[in-house]
Amino acid sequence: MLTLLNLKKELRMEASPNKAKISQRFFKTGPGEYGEGDVFLGITVPDTRKVVKGYSNLKLKEVVRLLHSKIHEERLTALLIMVNKFQAEKNKEKIYNLYLKNTKYINSWDLVDLSAPKIIGAYLLCKPKLILYKLAESKNIWERRISIISTFCFIKNNKFKETLKIAKILLNDEQDLIHKAVGWMLREVGKRDLKTEKEFLKKYYKRMPRTMLRYAIEKFPEKKRKKYLLNLI
């Protein structure tokens, strides 16, 4: 039966206390860390997806209730169901708007990465993208990550403009998780259009945080990477 209570019971059947302890360290849940206070059941993403398969028709209001959970895997489950609903239903705008209204609960890099391109990016692919620039200027680290990671959908469709513009906005971001996200997206641009990535790097690589640059040039030949890292380009 498709009820929120049954969904939670199924998730707990997949839980592992040992994996929960590992996740709480991996996702930096200690005092002052980015995931401070987050709670884990200890469920792998593949096992979470298995549970999600049976609940894609769960009522949207129940999905939103689940997204408000203090438990990390329950929030992830809610987002994966939202992705499935977005892809299957005609009223994509409703899910897109619900996502944006609930960004305070999309508060970890995995939650962003597994949902933003498939909802925000997919919805905006052929629409005005002003919201992404607003998110890029947000004080909330996860909204800033949503802004750049959403562009992965555009990159996969060989549209790079927004990625490059948002990357420029985030060049001076103070957070390492943003540096990694921007570098990753630049690397993805380079996989499809190396010239475009190199043109961006030529303008900005000396200003880029080290982590961002390392992620962006990860697939470059070793000699080329060293030149970038030594400011010799």
DSSP annotation of 129: -
Fold for 115-233, please state it: Leucine-rich Repeat Variant (1.25.10)
Instruction: Write out pLDDT tens, residues 182-227.
Output: 999 999 999 999 999 999 999 999 999 999 999 999 999 999 999 9
Mean pLDDT of 108-127: 98
Residue 8, exposed/middle/buried by CB under 10 A (0-12, 13-18, 19+)? middle
For 149, residues 6+ apart whose C-beta sits below 8 A from its C-beta are: 112, 113, 116, 117, 121, 181, 185
All structural domains of the chain with their residue ranges: 1-104, 115-233
How far apart are alpha carbons 69 and 43 in whole angstroms? 15
Mean per-residue pLDDT, 25-32: 95
Percent of the chain with pLDDT over 90: 96
CATH tag, 1-104: 1.25.10.90
Please write the tens of the pLDDT for every residue from 51-86: 999 999 999 999 999 999 999 999 999 999 999 999
